[in-house]
């Protein structure tokens, strides 16, 4: 087992380069199943969710390999067995993307119910609604979801609410349906635009990605291409918040500032200074940081994937902040861990009430999910004393070399191996 050990209180200073976007990369790697030739994907983050996607493709018979740092060569023409292995599928939410892509290509997909961060109930009823609209049937037995169709025909799909995964899966199946599909109330996240750009570069006909209405005309042949994945706006935001929390001065490179607008606006409201350049942002602090209120919203609103990180920062900002996140059932499981470090945070339904304290103190804590883990790292970086974060496998799912990147910014963070049995024995 591994944990991060952080000696806090050191301002982050210097430059950090953001990797490719996790939530774009998992969708685009799955989308190679729809391609009729070989693809080369660049700026692919080397994180565990991608490693699982690669394993799933290989298990089904595809030829997949990293040909250089962050460059993945994928040829899915040899896939014969459209069945995703159980244990791999249940370790991440993105395994649901193999339903849409296998359905689009083989008209038959059997995928174990997806797993991923425990943020409360995460059904895929909207995904199924989209598949049914295109003419597919579905059954759910033994923990496996099977979706199949004699024929996929373009249709009108109206989502009951914004769903990133539902929108992506609807695109996958519609790209291979006959005729026109119109998706209404579509999610607008940057990774949906990136996926549409990838598919259109292969020859698909997708219009309106990034808006509420996406129109897709089915395409028979999708050619192989070389494609570079967009930078990860959540990774970028995480380093921006860490720079503010440690009262540091950090240049975050390889970003698309437009994707960071809501994060930049919030940091400025708190009192941090954010200078924007063409492909980077600089975050530094010149005055005391103060409370703010935030409600997470689908893009372009403040992203739910940045909520835990911002809450960690607000725990040391003067005044009382209210953080509302009703996108998931429960995305506040980190609150108890922050309280171990001296944060004054209480959860009332979908709202975290955070009373800023002067200083957090280091403590042994556990990452409860990917972004909660990032929040605990931020808390550890600005706390006095030593913080030990266990269950860092959650963090490794979505942050490429986070400890190395932080050390380059002057953080005292070490990866320590430990054996649970020893701890049990030492009790």
User: Binding residues for ligand EPZ, per CB under 6 A?
Assistant: 22-23, 26, 93-94, 117, 122-127, 163-166, 187, 304-305, 327-328, 370-371, 398
Closer CB to ligand EPZ, residue 127 or residue 176? 127
On whether the CB atoms of residues 45 and 70 are closer than 8 A, the answer is yes
Strand residues in 92-169 grouped as ranges (E): 108-112, 137-141, 144-148, 156-158
Minimum separation from the CB atom of position 126 to ligand EPZ (A): 3
Identify the active-site residue in 35, 39, 53, 117.
117
User: Which CB sits closer to ligand EPZ, 127 or 146?
Assistant: 127
Q: Which residue(s) pair with 388 in the sheet?
A: 5, 364
What is the Cα–Cα distance from 281 to 16, expressed in whole angstroms?
10
Active-site residue 35, yes or no? no
Residue 10 near residue 381, CB atoms below 8 Å: yes
Q: Cβ closer to ligand EPZ: 125 or 279?
A: 125
Edge-to-edge strand order for the sheet containing 144-148? 108-112, 144-148, 137-141
Give strand pairing partners of 351: 324, 348
Residue closer to ligand EPZ (CB basis): 68 or 123:
123
In this structure, what token pair is assigned to residue 345?
Answer: 């945070």
| Peptide bond between residue 314 and the one before it cis (omega within 30 degrees of 0) | no
Collapse the DSSP code of 321 into the 3-class scheme (helix H, G, I; strand E, B; otherwise coil) and give the result: strand
Alpha-carbon distance of 229 to 95, in angstroms, equals: 19
Nearer to ligand EPZ, 53 or 285 (CB): 53
CB 245 within 8 A of CB 228: no
27 CB-near residues (< 8 Å, 6+ apart) = 94, 97, 168, 191, 194, 195
Chain length of the chain: 427
Closer residue to ligand EPZ in complex, CB, 129/407:
129
**105 vs 371 by CB, closer to ligand EPZ:** 371
DSSP β-bridge partners for residue 146: 110, 139
CB of 329 to ligand EPZ, least distance (A): 6
The helix (H) or strand (E) run that includes residue 361 is none
Question: Cα separation of 123 and 143, whole Å?
Answer: 13
> Is 4 or 302 the residue whose CB approaches ligand EPZ more closely?
302
Whose CA is closest to 213, among 184, 191, 190, 193? 184
Residue nearest to ligand EPZ (CB): 165
- Provide the β-strand partners of residue 39: 74
Distances (CA, A) of 13 to 244, 257, 413: 11, 20, 14
Question: What does each C-alpha distance from 278 to 17, 249, 253, 281, 335 come to in angstroms?
Answer: 14, 18, 10, 8, 36
Q: Dig out the tokens for 176 from the structure.
A: 């291979």
Residues marked as catalytic: 117
């Amino acid at each position: 087992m591994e944990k991060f050990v952080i000696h806090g209180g050191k301002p982050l200073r210097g430059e950090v380069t953001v990797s490719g976007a996790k939530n774009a990369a998992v969708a685009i790697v799955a989308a190679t199943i729809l391609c009729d030739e070989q693809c080369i994907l660049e700026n692919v983050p080397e994180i565990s969710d991608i490693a699982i996607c690669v394993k799933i493709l290989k298990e089904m018979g595809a030829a997949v390999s990293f040909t250089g740092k962050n460059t993945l060569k994928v040829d899915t023409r040899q896939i014969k067995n459209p069945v995703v292995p159980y244990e791999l599928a249940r370790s991440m939410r993105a395994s649901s993307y193999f339903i849409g892509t296998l359905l689009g290509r083989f008209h038959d997909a059997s995928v174990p119910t997806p797993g991923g961060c425990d943020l409360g109930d995460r059904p895929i009823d909207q995904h199924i609604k989209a598949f049914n609209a295109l003419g597919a049937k579905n059954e759910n037995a033994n923990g496996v979801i099977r979706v199949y169709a004699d024929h996929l025909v373009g249709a009108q799909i109206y989502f009951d609410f914004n769903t990133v995964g539902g929108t992506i899966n609807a695109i996958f199946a519609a790209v291979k349906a006959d005729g026109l599909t119109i998706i209404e109330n579509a999610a607008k996240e940057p990774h949906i635009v990136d996926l549409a750009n990838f598919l259109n570069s292969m020859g698909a006909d997708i219009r309106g990605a990034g808006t509420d209405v996406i129109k897709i005309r089915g395409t028979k042949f999708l050619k192989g291409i070389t494609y570079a994945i967009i930078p990860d706006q959540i990774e970028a935001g995480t380093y921006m918040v860490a720079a503010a929390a440690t009262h540091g001065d950090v240049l975050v490179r390889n970003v698309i500032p437009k994707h960071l607008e809501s994060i930049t606006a919030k940091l400025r409201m708190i009192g941090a200074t954010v200078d924007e350049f063409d492909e980077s942002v600089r975050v530094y602090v010149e005055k005391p940081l103060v409370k703010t209120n935030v409600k997470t919203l689908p893009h372009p609103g403040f992203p739910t994937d940045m909520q835990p990180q911002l809450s960690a920062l607000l725990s040391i900002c003067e005044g009382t902040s209210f953080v509302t996140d009703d996108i998931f059932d429960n995305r506040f499981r980190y609150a108890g861990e922050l309280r171990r470090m001296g944060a004054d945070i209480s959860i009332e339904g979908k709202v975290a009430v955070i009373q800023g304290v002067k200083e957090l103190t280091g403590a042994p804590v556990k990452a409860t999910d990917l972004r909660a883990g990032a929040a605990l790292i931020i808390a550890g970086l600005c706390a006095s004393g030593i913080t030990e974060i266990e269950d860092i496998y959650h963090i490794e799912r979505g942050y490429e070399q986070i400890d190395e990147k932080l050390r380059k910014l002057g953080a005292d963070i070490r990866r320590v191996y430990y054996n649970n049995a020893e701890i049990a024995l030492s009790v």
